[in-house]
Amino acid sequence: MSKSILLIIGGGIAAYKCLDLIRRAKERGIDSRTIITKAGTEFVTPLTVSALSGHKAHTDMFDLGSETEMGHIQLTRMVDLVVVAPATANLIAQAAGGLASDLASTSLLATDKPVLMAPAMNVRMWNHPATQRNVARLKADGVHFVGPNEGAMACNEYGPGRMAEPLEILAAIEALILGPQPLKGVHALVTAGPTHEPLDPVRFLGNRSSGKQGYAIAAALAAAGAETTLVSGPVAIAPPAGVKLIKVETAHEMLAATESALPVDVAVFTAAVADWRPEEIASGKIKKTSGPPPSIKLATNPDILASIARAKLRPRLVIGFAAETENVVVQAVQKRSKKNCDWIVANDVSHGVFGADRNKVHVISADGSEEWPEMDKHDIANRLVARIAKALETAA
Ligand code: CTP
């Protein structure tokens, strides 16, 4: 579930900090659409802003290209939040007065989304009764503010007026658009997808795992505020926003990547790790001959979940998945104790769960087994993450 902002860049020396803000927001999975005021273009160029954001930087009312008359309104409706940074005295006054004299002020008047302003101006301008009146007016209208900070200013004066730092603005953005983040400060790890175990340069042993459930869990953990690392085997889905992705191919690589991500607070093992690998990998393609077909000698792969669940740096909460085709709950209960995990999420994979969008699971813990109704894999992920948040909160 990716989020986006409309960033209105005003004309102030602090405009350069918006470049860092766009970059950091992107790292956190937040997409930035941008409008630069006429004065703003004196400080940052549309080219730099669009290169960083990956979208056209809009500059005035008559620069909407092929967009319709409704273009500027759409721009304010397609995002989750409108951010004004730097919010100059002029932009604040325009917004407080309800003016619609250029693209920036028109967008502020047209939006139905929350607005966050990061003021930046000379200390006397900030303290001026007119600015203070405008800020009070906007606050009464429900506009949010971050900063200004106090400090030495570019104009050699000292006091309140410095724009908040990009990370402070980002924290305010996240608080407004991401809702409650019960896993803020928590480190999480997810394994997902299949592993491919090579036989020769063109062939491998693999399985039908699509990675959908693991990717949905990683996305839900990140949305709940967890610093999330996703160790993924080969899959064909896009990485979730705001997640650190480590791509691997084999079980051995998955184990190494998982170990390198420790310590974490919670680890969820959704990967369908190949239990065996060809003992030998041919350096060249194995050729077809007229003789009998080759037989493949297998070696046992490491059990990643069992190994992490017994590691010195064992996460506080270790959650396994159990893919079963019969006696689902009984087998999963045994698997939970055999692998030393706290919870095991059991699913019946005999009816096309691999690659599907929906699943039906049982969650098994020391407290017993809980049957969940069939639902979308994203809903399973959200419900599991809510359960994780509750468990970590209780344990803390
Ligand atoms: N798992 C793992 N490493 C392995 C095999 C499994 O980390 N080499 C993890 C899976 O990610 C899952 C759990 O162990 O969380 C159970 O996987 P599953 O395939 O159901 O069980 P297996 O241990 O492979 O046992 P079996 O195939 O006999 O059911």
Question: How far is Cα 238 from Cα 52, in angstroms, rounded to an integer?
Answer: 20
- Same domain (yes/no): 192, 165: no
Question: How far is Cα 8 from Cα 102, in angstroms, rounded to an integer?
Answer: 12
Spatial CA neighbour of 189 closest among 226, 223, 224: 226
Burial class (CB in 10 A: 0-12, 13-18, 19+), 235: middle
Closest residue CA from atom 21 of ligand 1: 322
pLDDT at 29: 86
* CA–centroid distance, residue 396 to ligand 1 (Å): 29
To the nearest 10°, the Cα dihedral for 213, 341, 28, 210?
-20
Choosing from 177, 211, 232, the residue where a domain stops is 177
Closest residue CA from atom 12 of ligand 1: 321
Closest-lying ligand 1 atom to the alpha carbon of residue 306 = 7
Spatial CA neighbour of 216 closest among 379, 9, 47, 386: 379
Name the residue range of residue 167's domain. Answer: 3-177
Choosing from 177, 198, 220, the residue where a domain stops is 177
Closest-lying ligand 1 atom to the alpha carbon of residue 191 = 11
Which is the catalytic residue, given 78, 130, 155, 167?
155
- Same domain (yes/no): 223, 157: no
- With respect to residue 54, please indicate whether it lies within any of the assigned structural domains: yes
Q: Assign 352 to helix, strand or coil.
A: coil
Q: What residue type is assigned to position 271 of the chain?
A: A
* CA–centroid distance, residue 273 to ligand 1 (Å): 6
- CB-ligand 1 contact for 118 (6 Å cutoff): no
Q: Assign 17 to helix, strand or coil.
A: helix
Residue 341 is among the residues annotated as catalytic for this protein? no
Q: Are 82 and 108 in contact (CB under 8 A)?
A: yes
- CB-ligand 1 contact for 214 (6 Å cutoff): no
- Same domain (yes/no): 150, 195: no
- Same domain (yes/no): 11, 125: yes
- Same domain (yes/no): 205, 149: no
How many CB atoms are closer than 10 A to CB 132?
11
Low-confidence ranges of the chain (pLDDT < 50): 66, 68-69
- With respect to residue 170, please indicate whether it lies within any of the assigned structural domains: yes
Closest-lying ligand 1 atom to the alpha carbon of residue 271 = 11
CATH number assigned to the domain comprising residue 211: 3.40.50.10300
- CB-ligand 1 contact for 305 (6 Å cutoff): yes
- Distance, C-alpha 290 to centroid of its chain: 53
β-partners of residue 4 are: 31
Q: Assign 27 to helix, strand or coil.
A: helix
- CB-ligand 1 contact for 6 (6 Å cutoff): no
Identify which of 190, 208, 254, 275 to mutate to test ligand 1's pocket (most ligand atoms within 8 A of the CB).
Answer: 275
Identify which of 197, 268, 303 to mutate to test ligand 1's pocket (most ligand atoms within 8 A of the CB).
Answer: 303
pLDDT at 95: 98
Closest-lying ligand 1 atom to the alpha carbon of residue 301 = 8
Question: How far is Cα 340 from Cα 362, in angstroms, rounded to an integer?
Answer: 18
- Same domain (yes/no): 85, 226: no
CATH number assigned to the domain comprising residue 163: 3.40.50.1950
- CB-ligand 1 contact for 251 (6 Å cutoff): yes
- Same domain (yes/no): 113, 199: no
Could you tell me which residues come within 8 angstroms of residue 103 by beta carbon, excluding any fewer than 6 positions away? 35, 37, 58, 59, 60, 61, 63, 72
Phi, psi of 232, rounded to the nearest 5 degrees: -125, 135
- Same domain (yes/no): 343, 311: yes
Number of domains composing the chain: 2
- Same domain (yes/no): 369, 237: yes
- CB-ligand 1 contact for 353 (6 Å cutoff): no
Choosing from 177, 212, 241, the residue where a domain stops is 177
- With respect to residue 182, please indicate whether it lies within any of the assigned structural domains: no
- Same domain (yes/no): 159, 199: no
Helices (H) and strands (E) in the chain, counts: 13, 22
- Same domain (yes/no): 211, 234: yes
- Same domain (yes/no): 313, 331: yes
- With respect to residue 126, please indicate whether it lies within any of the assigned structural domains: yes
- CB-ligand 1 contact for 259 (6 Å cutoff): no
pLDDT at 69: 47
Could you tell me which residues come within 8 angstroms of residue 193 by beta carbon, excluding any fewer than 6 positions away? 209, 210, 211, 214, 232, 233, 234, 235, 271, 272
Identify which of 196, 270, 305, 345 to mutate to test ligand 1's pocket (most ligand atoms within 8 A of the CB).
Answer: 305
- With respect to residue 224, please indicate whether it lies within any of the assigned structural domains: yes
- CB-ligand 1 contact for 301 (6 Å cutoff): yes
Q: Cα–Cα distances in Å, from 181 out to 114, 132, 221?
A: 18, 32, 9
- pTM of structure: 0.74
| Average pLDDT score over the chain | 92
